[in-house]
A and B are shown apart, each in its own frame.
Chain A
Amino acid sequence: MTLQIDAPPPPEAAPPEAVPPEAPESGASESGPALVTTYLRGPDVQLAPAARGERREVDAAVVVSGLNVYYGSFRAIRDIGLSIRRHAVTAIIGPSGCGKSTFLRTLNRMHELTPTARVEGSVLLDGIDIMAPDVDPVQLRRVVGMVFQRPNPFPTMSIHDNVAAGLRLTGRVAKAELDAVVERSLRRAALWDEVKDKLRANGTSLSGGQQQRLCIARALAVDPEVILMDEPASALDPVATLRIEQLMAELRASYTIVIVTHNMQQAARVSDETAFFTMGEDRAGYLVEQGPTSQIFTNPKHQLTEDYVSGRFG
């Protein structure tokens, strides 16, 4: 359950770690808009009285609050608070360099592969703070899968083995079961018909669009709940892009999907929710607003959003 409040900024932004994750979280920015978005989660949370603006209740799979990410001493994103709806597509849009990829990579703690990256704040996945020290990022990534900008199949593996790669990590799996999962995943990724006769062929022998669907199948095979996609179609031609978009519409029923995209039409076509990021003068990215995609594109609350979606900025 999520509550969105449109309220004036408090004079001083509270330090993120001092704020209980389920309490109203405020993010103020010196250079950015005077907009504060607050999310609450859980049916029994006392809803804070909304200053003004409408309330919206959605089932959130992921609730982010007070999220700051630093690369060394550079703050790449600042005080992000947003929620990600379960079994829906949430699009993250915003100008280049505003921290969309950075944000996405914190959701499965992929940022930990970058030695200089450091995170503050909380990310609740079904109520559990995944940033907590006792959460194992390796386990987490089986639940929160990822698809990358450029298709990256394993070049030394066959199509079959690419899809099976994640399952093989979990230990010995019977061949019959493996084959079944590979087929199911390839079907879900709408690739089965194209590759069923050449499962032993090399993964890199496929076209770019097929490779990306192979990577989606590979992510699906470990049965995640959330799938993060960082510009999954930006390296593809329009036809392949369309396939990926159709696929997202199908996958939405069973997965929570977060997609970063530079393509406004794509965001409008595929997503249910849209979050618009931009960056301040210190080059730290922050959330301007989040809402239903139709509202963000037709009736945004903030001028910056309006400028961006109508193509006047970025």
Chain B
Amino acid sequence: MTIPGAPGLPTRRFTGRSGSSADRLFRTSTGIAAVTMAGLILAIGLMLLVNSGEAFRQFGVGFVTGTTWDPVAGIYDALPYIVGTLLSSAIALAIAAPIGLLTAIFLAELAPRRVALPLTFLIELLAAIPSVVFGLWGVFVLSPFLGATLEPFLIRTLGWIPIFAGPSYGIGLFSAGIILAIMILPTIVAIAREVISSVPDSQREAMAALGATRWEIVRRAVLPFARSGIVGAIILGLGRALGETMAVTMVIGNGQNIPTRLFDQAQTIASKIATTFNEASIGLQTSSLIALGLMLLVITISLNVVARLLVRRVATEGGR
């Protein structure tokens, strides 16, 4: 290739490919892996879409708004499970978000390194405990405790508020929410801690130089700066709560109605699918279960997208 207008310059070649066969192998194998992954995700989405078609054709919007799940009558509606999913996750969030945020602040801002490091490690270990183990703990430890102590106490003291009214069973929405809270805590703590640590020191110093106490520095400089990342951390935790199946199935009871009180038994989308799929008849019931799965996928994906956008915004703000 000669450079136009520059006669006499040596001819240079930039075209063609350099690299050995190892390079080519590397490129090809990584490419194949990436394409396979993308293909798999698309295939799953497509499978859900195609196989849920029958349910949506049969029930239309009623699938989302109806409250009956009756194999005998052949009516399958999703609302109780959507509500169960959203409520159990909301309870989990109400517990885990403040505790997780406070823990993250402690780890990132206050604890000396020799305390923060082992504590962070322990909390991250919490994420490694298998879901079914949480479920066992929930069934044999948490639920008996809730049913015998905490729930009766709450009913006695707060029972005049409708959502705290009895009866209580120990298993139900509340126990599911607590189990979920424990399970999503590591996610929230890990990401929120990361986000808080990435707030530039110049922000802390700016606030400190105005005569701010430690707490005021956190509250007025660090948290506002990290706010969207913290929201992102919470939403990622929420995403995990929405999809969690095993532990929830074990402690949520098998309520078929829309839960209206904290201690009601309920079902989430995930637990409904898990408990019903085995005996579901081919056809409309199976298609309805798959439609349930599609609903869950849509909810979690949209939440994840929002969370990622928020976390990224902090990353770019922090890089300034």
Residues of A within 8 A of B (CB): 108, 110, 113, 115, 138-142, 145-146, 148, 150, 152-157, 165-166, 168-170, 204, 215, 218-219, 222
Contacts and interface: CB of A to CB of B under 8 A. Distances in A.
B240 interface: no
- Chain B's interface size range is 20 to 34
Interface string B212-244: 110010001100110100000000000000000
Given A152-B203, A154-B203, A155-B225, A110 B208 contact: yes
Nearest to B214: A138
Nearest to B113: A115
B278 interface: no
Given A142-B210, A222-B210, A169 B220 contact: yes
Contact of B213 (A138, A154, A219): A138
Contacts of A219: 209-210
Contacts of A168: 220
Contacts of B202: 148, 150, 152
Given A115-B112, A138-B212, A152 B227 contact: no
B49 interface: no
A153 B227 CA distance: 16
A152 B224 contact: no
Contacts of B201: 113
Interface in B169-222: 200-213, 216, 220-221
Contacts of A145: 209-210
B317 interface: yes
A141 B211 contact: yes
A141 B210 contact: yes
A152 B210 contact: no
A165 B209 contact: no
Contacts, number: 69
A168 B221 CA distance: 13
Given A115-B112, A168-B220, 17 more contacts: A110-B209, A113-B201, A113-B208, A141-B208, A141-B210, A141-B211, A142-B210, A148-B206, A152-B202, A154-B224, A155-B225, A156-B227, A169-B212, A218-B206, A218-B210, A219-B209, A222-B210
A169 B227 CA distance: 20
A141 B212 CA distance: 8
A219 B220 CA distance: 16
B209 A154 contact: no
**How would you classify the secondary structure of chain B's contact residues: helix, strand, loop or mixed?**
helix
B211 A142 contact: yes
B208 to A, nearest CB: 6
Contacts of A148: 202, 205-206, 209
Interface in B92-115: 112
Nearest to A144: B209
Given A154-B224, A156-B224, A169 B208 contact: no
A108 B225 CA distance: 24
Counting chain B CB atoms within 10 Å of each CB, which of A165, A204, A222 scores highest?
Answer: A165
Contacts of B227: 156
A102 to B, nearest CB: 14
A165 B224 CA distance: 13
A145 B206 CA distance: 10
Contacts of A157: 224
Given A141-B209, A219-B209, A219-B210, A169 B224 contact: no
A140 B227 CA distance: 29
Counting chain A CB atoms within 10 Å of each CB, which of B211, B220, B225 scores highest?
Answer: B211
A157 B200 CA distance: 16
Contacts of B225: 154-156
Nearest to B220: A165
Contacts of B213: 138
Q: Would you list the 6 A-B pairs with minimal beta carbon distance, nearest first?
A: A166-B210, A142-B211, A146-B209, A152-B202, A156-B224, A141-B211
Counting chain A CB atoms within 10 Å of each CB, which of B205, B206, B216 scores highest?
Answer: B206
A169 B219 CA distance: 11
Nearest to A218: B210
Contact of A154 (B112, B206, B211, B320): B206
Contacts of A140: 211
Contacts of A169: 210-212, 216, 220
23 contacts: A110-B205, A110-B209, A113-B205, A138-B211, A141-B208, A141-B209, A141-B211, A146-B209, A148-B206, A150-B202, A152-B202, A152-B205, A152-B206, A154-B203, A154-B206, A154-B221, A155-B225, A155-B317, A166-B211, A168-B220, A169-B211, A219-B209, A222-B211
Contacts of A152: 200, 202-203, 205-206
Contacts of A153: 206
Contacts of B207: 154, 165
Nearest to B203: A152
Contacts of A222: 210-211
B215 to A, nearest CB: 11
A301 to B, nearest CB: 34
